[in-house]
Structure 1
């Protein structure tokens, strides 16, 4: 298996571990110095603990969240993943009370690996589309 194929599989495994809050997987495959660059988050995500905290901020709001993975592009030590975030807003999301609305938004995630460990992540989500779908902004 090529390094690119191995890194693509690590991305697939990352999303499964994230949804399951698999902290053992996170401790093995996310570097302590890992950072997620995400302009839509009001807090910093660092290391395996930060990824678990991100899970704890999102999954109570969208407990039925799914992350359909659509495309992978790998080069060198980086993998770009195009995916969706889908779910129903049934819990508090930051200051926003549950709306019962469904979301279906597009995401681009760029991951960087070193020796089979995730070291950096750049995330771009359609936050504007999500806020419209939740009714926080007009369509």
Structure 2
């Protein structure tokens, strides 16, 4: 099933409109392929359930965050998006206690669409700038995230 670039852009926008704005986590199964791979600065996530857990964690750590989409470009099976997320770190997130600080982070995201669903998602937020705004240090991160001694 081939989709047009416009259909692909609409599919990607559903993440913000339905999952983030409306809190409809069931839409994740309609938007993402069963074997979706999400590439993040913290590692890879596999499957829609991992994406659901990511959104549940973010909604708890940043209850009033908002996203502004600045541009969405599609070509073939690829969609690129530039956005800004802002809010307040008001609950524990990834083992980091709430700082109460405001943040505004720029993010680039790329999506590969296959058979009418998102098959791959690359997230590239300004993680360093985000942590700086929260006042989180390398030592804070080491204490919050256990080392992988593999």
- The answer, yes or no, to whether TM exceeds 0.5 is yes
- TM-score, normalised relative to structure 1: 0.89
Kept in 1, the 8 Å contact 2:19–2:27? The answer is no
Matches within 5 A, 1:1-139: 3-19=4-20, 20-39=22-41, 41=42, 44-137=44-137
- Structure 1's consecutive aligned runs of 4 or more residues displaced over 3 angstroms after TM superposition are none
Distance in structure 2 (CA, Å) of the matches to 1:18 and 1:48: 12
| Gapped regions of structure 2 (runs ≥ 5) | 138-150
- Aligned residue pairs, count: 134
Q: What is the deviation of 1:125? A: 0.5
Q: What is the deviation of 1:126? A: 0.3
The Cα RMSD (Å) is 1.5
Instruction: Render the CA deviation track for 1:64-121: whole Å, top value 9, x for unaligned.
Output: 1111100111110000000011111000012211111111000000001112211000
User: Computing the radius of gyration over CA atoms, which structure comes out larger, 1 or 2?
Assistant: 2
- TM-score, normalised relative to structure 2: 0.83
Distance in structure 2 (CA, Å) of the matches to 1:21 and 1:52: 11
Instruction: Render the CA deviation track for 1:34-90: whole Å, top value 9, x for unaligned.
Output: 010012x26x42222111100122111100111110011111000000001111100
Distance in structure 1 (CA, Å) of the matches to 2:53 and 2:65: 16
